[in-house]
A and B are shown apart, each in its own frame.
Chain A
Amino acid sequence: MLELKHELKLRKTRDEKARMNFVSGLRAHVLMDMANGMRAVWDADVAPEFRKRHRRDPKDGPEVHKAMKPNEYFKFYSSMRVTAQDMVWQSVLGPLERQRADLKAKAQDLDRRVGLGSLNLKPGFEVPRSVTAVDVHLMSGNYDGEYEPDDLAAGAVYDNGLAVFSFGLMGQNLDDLGQSIAGFIRLKYPDFKPKKILDLGCTIGHNTGSWKDTYPEAEVHGVDVAAPCLRYAHARAQAQGRAIHFHQMNAEQVEFPDASFDVVFSSMFLHEVPRKGIEKVFKEAHRLLRPGGLMLHMELPPNSQLSAYEAFYLDWDSFYNNEPFYKPFRDMVPQEVCARAGFDPKKYVQYVVPSRGGYGEKIWSESVNQQDTVDSDKTGRLAEGVRWYCFGAWK
């Protein structure tokens, strides 16, 4: 299990550490070994059966899903993945329960001692039902769970949980995708010097910080609907010496003036938003950007650019991980959403960026000139060899 590198990290007993290590290892087993095994079972058993019955290959993810559903290996893969997902958050809740007061005191202390950036919460802010209806990705307490005034426990669940969840693949500071993508933009567009950067749906700000690292002169803002995550994000940014401004706002209706940002970014965010909301987010991004600014979303790759099997594989979360908007988002065609929001189709961009921490600086920086195709079992999938997918448009 990855150990968080900042002072908000929870202290764990030997047994708690061991449980976290076990869950990390279990997830690696399911998402790598069993994922390969399931693909083998598809190739050898289920796909030939499908071809025999239909006299053709499956045309999309849902057809593969339907064919795989009765298969025993699929059931074990799914049941074990759900169990592991649940165990990730459960492994954090024990040590967190003991340290809630301590965590709050640490956050207050950071405010006094460091005093970097700002936290702007709105009393009475209504968190949208798309977030509150279910515990997103089976995370007990969800992003917005509040149990006492000034609570930041939900942020701690997410941060400490991601460290267990990612088995090292999201980087030592859980910001590999932020570091990979922000750094990629700086390398690819050396003349682009953003002064103001906005991260939408930033949760605990783990990828917001990468933009500050990449463009230290820029003013960096993060918005999210969940107060406990924002409180934690503010404390976490200060613990890491970063000046970032966090605001409780809905990305569908951001309260900043027109043409006030040079970069509007999001990561792993759109797939948690209903389709109508996504359209609004893109229109907001267009409104918020200055001419020459960049909208960029790090996401799972769209189904339109994947084979039927890969589409099925990534759709899994939509059905079994309490992420109901995941597949509807991935069924959207990114170029079309950008165009509908007012972006010039000629200014559409998409990139596949090799994980900077995983592949190392050389392969990562070479990707600026040599792009891989989107359809691969490495794109957007949390397994060894992960490559981050992002898309957007220049205004």
Chain B
Amino acid sequence: MTDEKSSGAARKPLRRTIRGGRPVFFADPATDKVLNMVITLASEVWALRERVMAMEALQVRTGSLGATDVDDYDFTPEQEVRLGGERKEFIDNLFRVLQEQVEAAAAKSPSAREHVKRQPGVFGARVSAVSKKPKKKSPAKKPSAKKKSRR
């Protein structure tokens, strides 16, 4: 686990777009993209079902799960942060097919590139619980540096 994390951080992320584009079958190419999202979502929902089923089976086996335990449970702040990061990844992944158009735009125009690579981050940890992983400290400097020059 540790090994995967440290080596992953140093590497350039694997490309997840398809060079040469993807085949289109419907009259409106958007329909193909929506289908992609729906199927991605279905696979995530199924993964979740299997995980929940496995967890419940384990709990029942040890006798540690009561009837309303799951509904009554609140995540700890640490768990919220972790979930927030995973949720962001889940959503990014679900709509990855749309990111291709943005990346093509960024490749074409320097100002488009600026908009894409701009990291929010001004509000730091407050939003992190819902939308961000609590790493990546350095890129967050950019917007605040920009603010100062404007003043």
Q: Taking beta carbons and an 8 Å cutoff, which residues of A are in contact with B?
A: 1-2, 13-15, 21-22, 24-26, 28-29, 32-34, 36-37, 39-45, 48, 72-73, 75-76, 80, 167-169, 355, 357-359, 370, 372-373, 383-385
Within the complex, the shortest CB–CB distance from A24 to chain B, in Å, comes to 5
Chain A hits for B129, CB < 8 A:
168
* Inter-subunit contact B98/A25 (CB<8 Å): no
The answer to whether residues A36 and B30 also contact, given A28-B130, A76-B98 and a CB cut-off of 8 A, is no
* Inter-subunit contact B127/A21 (CB<8 Å): no
Name B's interface SS: helix
B111 at the interface (CB under 8 A from A): yes
Among the interface residues A14, A33, A40, which one has the most CB atoms of the partner chain B within 10 A? A40
For the complex, what is the distance from the CA of A208 to the CA of B118, rounded to whole Å? 35
* Inter-subunit contact A25/B87 (CB<8 Å): yes
* Inter-subunit contact A358/B106 (CB<8 Å): no
B140: nearest chain-A partner, CB-CB = A384
* Inter-subunit contact A383/B29 (CB<8 Å): no
The answer to whether residues A25 and B130 also contact, given A72-B29, A73-B98 and a CB cut-off of 8 A, is yes
Chain B hits for A373, CB < 8 A:
150
Within the complex, the shortest CB–CB distance from A377 to chain B, in Å, comes to 9
B3 at the interface (CB under 8 A from A): no
Given A29-B95, A40-B113, A41-B105, 18 extra CB contacts under 8 A: A28-B131, A34-B95, A36-B102, A36-B118, A37-B98, A37-B99, A37-B116, A39-B112, A40-B102, A41-B101, A43-B115, A44-B106, A44-B111, A76-B30, A168-B126, A169-B127, A373-B150, A385-B122
Q: Which of B118-140 contact A (CB under 8 A)?
A: 118, 120-123, 126-127, 129-131
Contact pick for A40, options B33, B84, B91, B116, CB 8 Å: B116
* Inter-subunit contact B109/A43 (CB<8 Å): yes
Chain A hits for B102, CB < 8 A:
36-37, 40-41, 73
29 contacts between A and B (CB under 8 A): A2-B130, A21-B87, A24-B131, A25-B90, A28-B131, A29-B131, A32-B131, A34-B95, A34-B98, A36-B102, A37-B101, A37-B115, A40-B102, A40-B109, A40-B112, A40-B116, A41-B105, A44-B104, A44-B105, A44-B108, A45-B105, A72-B29, A73-B102, A76-B30, A76-B33, A169-B127, A359-B122, A370-B151, A372-B147
B91: nearest chain-A partner, CB-CB = A29
The answer to whether residues A168 and B30 also contact, given A25-B91, A39-B115, A41-B101 and a CB cut-off of 8 A, is no
B70 at the interface (CB under 8 A from A): yes
Within the complex, the shortest CB–CB distance from B19 to chain A, in Å, comes to 18
Chain B hits for A370, CB < 8 A:
151
Chain A hits for B130, CB < 8 A:
1-2, 21, 24-25, 28, 167-168
Among the interface residues A14, A43, A72, A373, which one has the most CB atoms of the partner chain B within 10 A? A43
Chain A hits for B70, CB < 8 A:
14
B83: nearest chain-A partner, CB-CB = A21
For the complex, what is the distance from the CA of A24 to the CA of B29, rounded to whole Å? 28
Nearest 6 pairs between A and B by C-beta?
A: A44-B105, A384-B120, A40-B112, A44-B109, A37-B102, A44-B112
Contact pick for A384, options B73, B99, B123, CB 8 Å: B123
* Inter-subunit contact B101/A29 (CB<8 Å): no
* Inter-subunit contact B101/A36 (CB<8 Å): no
Contact pick for B127, options A73, A80, A167, CB 8 Å: A167
For the complex, what is the distance from the CA of A117 to the CA of B142, rounded to whole Å? 46
B71 at the interface (CB under 8 A from A): yes
